[in-house]
Structure 1
Amino acid sequence: MTTSTPRSPLGGLLGLVGFVLVVGGASGLLHEWFGWIRFMGFTRFLIPSGYEVLGYVVMIALGTAACVGAGARRPA
């Protein structure tokens, strides 16, 4: 029998934000490179005009960091 520590609501919110950033950044990169339909179109309002590829890469990096931070546990 395993015991798990309860997840904090802030960790869940941070995981959700990280997921949205990663998926939105990947969707934006696919749109910029291949012209596919945007999956999460609202992310284009977060990126300055002319810096789309760099902005989407930064979104993916920040989303990954948020997901890792959400999964981190405080040492006992």
Structure 2
Amino acid sequence: MKTLLGYLGFVLIVGGASGLVSGWIPGFRLFGLVRYLVPDGHETAGYATLLVLGVLLAIPAARRG
């Protein structure tokens, strides 16, 4: 369970951060998979939410060792 939370947290953190960066830097695309999780027109809030959820999932995984 620890590794699953860690991997999922990592994917959400990297996906959310790359989505935010791609909004500020045109042409930057790193993680195209997570764009299907965010509704059109709400990219900034959606990617920030993914980033926060990733951090919240990664914290318990890191605390368990």
Pair in the same fold by TM > 0.5: yes
Unaligned runs of 5+ residues in structure 2 are: none
Q: How many residues align?
A: 64
Higher relative contact order (CA closer than 8 Å, sequence separation 6+)? 2
Q: Which has the larger radius of gyration?
A: 1
- Equivalent residue for 2:55? 64
Give aligned-pair identity as a percent: 44
Could you say what the CA RMSD is over the residues aligned between the two structures, in angstroms? 0.9
* Between structures 1 and 2, the one with greater helix share: 2
Counterpart amino acid of residue 2 in structure 2:
G
Unaligned runs of 5+ residues in structure 1 are: 1-9
Q: Write out the 4+ residue segments of structure 1 that deviate beyond 3 Å after TM superposition.
A: none
- Equivalent residue for 1:30? 21
TM-score by length of 2: 0.91
